[in-house]
Structure 1
C-alpha cells in the first residue's frame, strides 16, 4: 500500500496546462536534457548499448596489425597484394521507454514529484538514443496500457514523447507491472533496449520480467522519495493510499508502526532488486532529491 499524508497544505492539485505553458515546460525539459545527452550521456549510451551486428562496408589494402582473418582472398588474388574486408557496426537500435504513470508517481515531499524526475530521465535517454539515430518508443501504463507510441526517429518525435509524459492523464490509478511487461513482450518482436521507470511499489512481476529479460536488454530505474523510506513521528495522522483512495488513521508515534512501515518498504525494494537480478536485467535507484545524472553515468560505466 502506498501512503500519502492527508494535509491540505501538502496536497497538490494538478490542473490541465494551457498550450503556452505546456510548450514552455517541454522546451525547458528539452534544453536541460538535450544538453545532458549531448555532453554527458551520448558517448556512454553508444558504448553501453551495442548494435545488432556487423555489416560489410568496403575493402582496403592490408595494413600492419590487421587481423589476417579479415583478408579478402578473392580481391587479394585479383590484385596480387593483400586486401582486407572492413565491417561497420549495424548501429540502429530501438529504445522502448516503459513508464509508470499510476497515482503513486505523483508524489513528492520536496519541490519535485517522482513523475517529474521520471520525465527528465526519459527525455535524457530519448535524446541520447536520437544522437545515435536509434528509434524511440513510449508505453505509459498504470494497471492498464494507457498510451502506446510506436518507435520512430527524430527530435520532433522525442518532443511528442516529452509532451505526453508531462500532460497525459491516466484513466486508472493503480499499478500492474506484469501486465505492462506482457504487453511489451507481445508488441516488440525484435530485440530492443527497454528502460522501465517506476517507483516499483508493486509485486508479482518477477516471472514476467524473466520472460522480458530473455528477449530484450532491460533496465529498471526506481525513483523514490525519502518519506517512503521512513515514517516520521507526527502523532496521529490520517494517511491515504494514493492508488486506492482508502484513508486510515495511523499512530506514527508508535515505534512498532514505524518499524513495520520501514520493513514493508524494504521488502518492496528487495523484491525489485532480486527480480531484476534473477532476470539478468540491469537496475538502479535514485531519490527525487539526488543527482540522477551521477547515478545514470555510474550505471552506464558499470555495464
Structure 2
C-alpha cells in the first residue's frame, strides 16, 4: 500500500496535510487568478457566466418584463392573479471540487501519481476559493465510496476538505488489485448532479476513464445550472509510448515485455489518446465549459509560482 510521508515531505505516491496547507501559505495575492490563466494556457474554454447562486426572497404580483419562468403557479391559482417569485443573489458562490480517487488515478511513470497531482491542484482551488470569499465543498469518489462535503465559508471548510483528501481510504488500498468499479462513472456523476446547487462552480478532476455518452449526458445536465470545469489528469505514457526499444513491465505479480519499435503501432497508440482527448475538448466546446490538462510530470503549483501560468 502507499506509505504516508512525514509532514512537509514530498512523495510521488502520497500526500500530506502539511504539504496541502503549505500550498495556501505560498499563494501570493497576485496569483489568485493564476489558476484560471493556467487553464487558459493549457487549452481552456471560457464558460458562459451563470452568476452566483440565487436564493428565494418573496412573491409579488407579476409585472411586464418579469421572467415568465419565475411565475409561482400555486400562488397564482390561489389568488387568481399572476404572481412571480423574486430572488436575491447569494454573496458567496459555492465551489465544489469533485476529485476522482478511483484506482486508475493511482498510476504514474513520470512525476507523481495522477491522484497526487489532482489533490495538489484541488488544494490550490480550495485556497483560491477562500481568498475570493467563496464557499468551498468537496465530492470525493472512488470504487469504495463517495464523500460529499457541503460548501461552507472560511478556512475551517478548506482544512476539512484537505483532511478528507489526505485521509481518503483510496490511499491505503492493497497493491495490485484490478480496477473493478462497483458503479460506472456516469452513475457517480448522476449523484454529483443531485448534490450540486444551482450557480455552483464545479471543478472536476479525473482521468475520465469510462467516458461515454452517459457521462456526457450527466455532465451536460449538470452544466445547465452550474459552471463546469473539467481537468484531465494523465500520465505521459498514456499519451505516447517510450522511445523505440524493448521494455519489461511488472505489476508486482506478473512480468510483461513490450516492444515499441513498430512505427505504425506507435502512431496508432498516439492517435488513440489524441482521439480520446478530442472527445473531452469537443464536449467542453459544445457546452461552453472550461477544459484544463494536468499531466503527472507537471507540478501545477511550481508551474504557477514560476510564472508558467501567465499568458
The normalised TM-score by structure 1 is 0.68
Question: 1:20-41, CA deviations, whole angstroms, 9 ceiling, x for partnerless residues?
Answer: 989x931222122343264411
Kindly state the Cα deviation for residue 148 of structure 1 after the two structures are TM-superposed: 1.6
1:41–1:190 Cα change, 3 Å = same
In 2, the alpha carbon distance for the partners of 1:213 and 1:124 equals 23
Structure 2 residue aligned with 1:41:
32
Kindly state the Cα deviation for residue 195 of structure 1 after the two structures are TM-superposed: 0.1
What does residue range 101-116 of structure 1 map to in structure 2 within 5 Å?
Answer: 101-116=101-116
Aligned counterpart in structure 2 of residue 262 of structure 1, from 270, 289, 310: 270
Q: Please say if 1:15 is aligned against 2:15.
A: no
The 3-state SS of whatever aligns with 2:18 is helix
Q: Please say if 1:227 is aligned against 2:237.
A: yes
What does residue range 1-303 of structure 1 map to in structure 2 within 5 Å?
Answer: 13-15=1-3, 25-36=16-27, 38-41=29-32, 51-52=52-53, 90-142=90-142, 145-170=145-170, 173=179, 176-204=184-212, 205-232=215-242, 233-235=244-246, 237-238=248-249, 250-290=258-298, 292=300
Structure 1 residue aligned with 2:63:
none
In 1, the alpha carbon distance for the partners of 2:152 and 2:233 equals 26
Kindly state the Cα deviation for residue 193 of structure 1 after the two structures are TM-superposed: 0.5
In 2, the alpha carbon distance for the partners of 1:301 and 1:122 equals 19
In 2, the alpha carbon distance for the partners of 1:198 and 1:133 equals 26
1:246–1:159 Cα change, 3 Å = farther
Question: 1:271-295, CA deviations, whole angstroms, 9 ceiling, x for partnerless residues?
Answer: 1111222222111113233353567
Are 1:96 and 1:137, in contact at CA under 8 Å, matched by a contact in 2?
yes
Larger-Rg structure: 1
The normalised TM-score by structure 2 is 0.66
1:162–1:16 Cα change, 3 Å = same
In 2, the alpha carbon distance for the partners of 1:152 and 1:130 equals 10
In 2, the alpha carbon distance for the partners of 1:239 and 1:273 equals 33
Are 1:138 and 1:149, in contact at CA under 8 Å, matched by a contact in 2?
yes
Kindly state the Cα deviation for residue 239 of structure 1 after the two structures are TM-superposed: 6.5
In 2, the alpha carbon distance for the partners of 1:275 and 1:142 equals 23
Task: Pick 1 or 2: higher relative contact order, CA cutoff 8 A, min separation 6.
Answer: 2
Structure 2 residue aligned with 1:62:
none
The 3-state SS of whatever aligns with 2:199 is coil
Q: Which runs of 5+ in 1 are unaligned?
A: 1-12, 55-87
Count of residues in correspondence between the two structures? 251
The 3-state SS of whatever aligns with 1:195 is strand
In 2, the alpha carbon distance for the partners of 1:246 and 1:99 equals 30
1:173–1:196 Cα change, 3 Å = same
In 1, the alpha carbon distance for the partners of 2:226 and 2:283 equals 15
Structure 2 residue aligned with 1:77:
none
1:285–1:246 Cα change, 3 Å = farther
Structure 2 residue aligned with 1:59:
none
1:120–1:33 Cα change, 3 Å = farther
In 2, the alpha carbon distance for the partners of 1:246 and 1:220 equals 35
Are 1:210 and 1:278, in contact at CA under 8 Å, matched by a contact in 2?
no
